[in-house]
Every structure is written in C-alpha cells, then in structure tokens.
Amino acid sequence: MANEFISSATNTLKEVAKTMQERGDQYADTWGKDGVWHLTKAIVKQYTKVDVDDETCKAIALATFIDQKYSRFAGGYKKDTAIDLVNYIAALADKVGH
C-alpha cells in the first residue's frame, strides 16, 4: 500500500539532495577547510565575553540561517526557501545532535 506522506516527503528530499549537491559544487567548502569564523567569534566574545570554537560558530550560524530562512515565509511561500530550510535544519541536527 502506498503512503502519500512518504511519497511526498521522498520527492522533496530528492530535490533537497540535488540542490545541496549543486550548491556544494558552486561554492568553496565554507563549513570545512575554507571556513573562517573571525567575525563571528569576535561578535560572540563582545556580547558574551566567551571565546567560542569553530564548531560553536557553525551551530550559531546554522541557527541564524534557519531563523532567517523561516522568516522569509512571512512574505509568502517560496519552494526554494523550503528546500534550503530542510538542508540547514539537517545540518543543525547533525551538529547539535551529538
């Protein structure tokens, strides 16, 4: 028996993976070897007096991107926003879920 929810989610997840790969090929590895977090670290320290590491900066950045992406729905639905939101939430779940 077919499950409509699973079918719909699977279709979207295929598109999410395709978009992630395409964009990954277009940009440098900004979350890995090409990533720098100088400004993020400086701002966090200015506001909290705490030194943070790269992994903390990645989690903060992902949370910020998710908030920003989700806020864009206030202007109406756009499929690209939903697709990107899935990728950011997936990365955050991996970073914070340990």
Distance CA 21, CA 6 (A): 22
* Residue 82 burial by Cβ neighbours in a 10 Å radius (0-12, 13-18, 19+): middle
The pLDDT value given to residue 98: 67
Q: 1: pLDDT confidence band, cut at 50, 70 and 90?
A: low
Quick one: average pLDDT of 1-9?
88
The pLDDT value given to residue 33: 87
The pLDDT value given to residue 31: 87
Domain layout of the chain by residue ranges: 29-96
Q: Tell me the pLDDT tens digit for each residue of 12-58.
A: 999 999 999 998 888 888 888 888 999 999 999 999 999 999 999 99
- Closest among 75, 95, 37 to 87, alpha carbons compared: 95
User: 73 CB contacts (<8 Å, ≥6 apart)?
Assistant: 81
